Amino acid sequence: MRRLLRFVFLGLLLAGIAIQFVPVKDIGSNPPERFVVDAPPQVAAILRRSCFDCHSNETRWPLYSRIAPGSWLMARDVHRGRNHLNFSEWGDADEEERQDDLESCWDEVAAGEMPPVQYLYPFHMSAKLSDSDKALLKAFFLKNAANPGEKQPDTAKAQADEKPAATP
């Protein structure tokens, strides 16, 4: 029994070492484009803390984000996150694109989808958005929105769904 356990342990250890050599695209990579988002300092700080790791070229890559298999998940999130929205490449976007980005940012934050939960626990608890963070983000994301009140399809839909049910 002890020999078996020792065998299993050794196997796991070797596997753990071996997977460190699997090449992963994008790990530790921060492409050169930079862009300074025109936001009040408090908002800029929240974006940097809670969004920039996946939506900019200024990703922090601490040691634990480089150790497999966590590194695979991190690289995947960063790769997909940047593909959807990369603030560092905003220099190439026109006003309309930026406006669209900002409004979808609020949709994601309001829905509690961003930052993603798997990112928060356990290493990035400080990226969690407090209510006051969300209020600041909302004001910034929707400051130029045409119809800020209409940017909540879920509530609007819920109300619309309720009415016909109440009147037979």
Q: Which residues, 6 or more positions from 64, have their beta carbon under 8 angstroms from its beta carbon?
A: 70, 123
What tokens appear for 154 in the block? 């879920």
Cβ distance to ligand HEC smaller for residue 50 or 88 = 50
Cβ distance to ligand HEC smaller for residue 34 or 79 = 79
For residue 13, give the amino acid letter: L
Cβ distance to ligand HEC smaller for residue 18 or 45 = 45
Q: How far is the CB of 107 from ligand HEC (least distance, A)?
A: 7
Cβ distance to ligand HEC smaller for residue 10 or 92 = 92
Q: How far is the CB of 116 from ligand HEC (least distance, A)?
A: 5
115: exposed, middle or buried (Cβ count in 10 Å: 0-12, 13-18, 19+):
buried
Rounded distance between C-alpha atoms, residue 73 and residue 65, angstroms? 9
For residue 85, give the amino acid letter: L
Q: How far is the CB of 2 from ligand HEC (least distance, A)?
A: 42
Chain contacts with ligand HEC (rule: CB under 6 A): 50-51, 53-55, 77, 80-81, 84-85, 104-105, 108-109, 114-116, 119
Cβ distance to ligand HEC smaller for residue 54 or 142 = 54
How far apart, in Å, are the Cα atoms of 81 and each of 40, 56, 159? 23, 9, 32
Q: How far is the CB of 33 from ligand HEC (least distance, A)?
A: 18
Q: How far is the CB of 159 from ligand HEC (least distance, A)?
A: 24
How far apart, in Å, are the Cα atoms of 30 and each of 27, 61, 73, 82, 157? 9, 9, 17, 11, 41
Contact between 105 and 141 under an 8 Å Cβ cutoff? The reply is yes
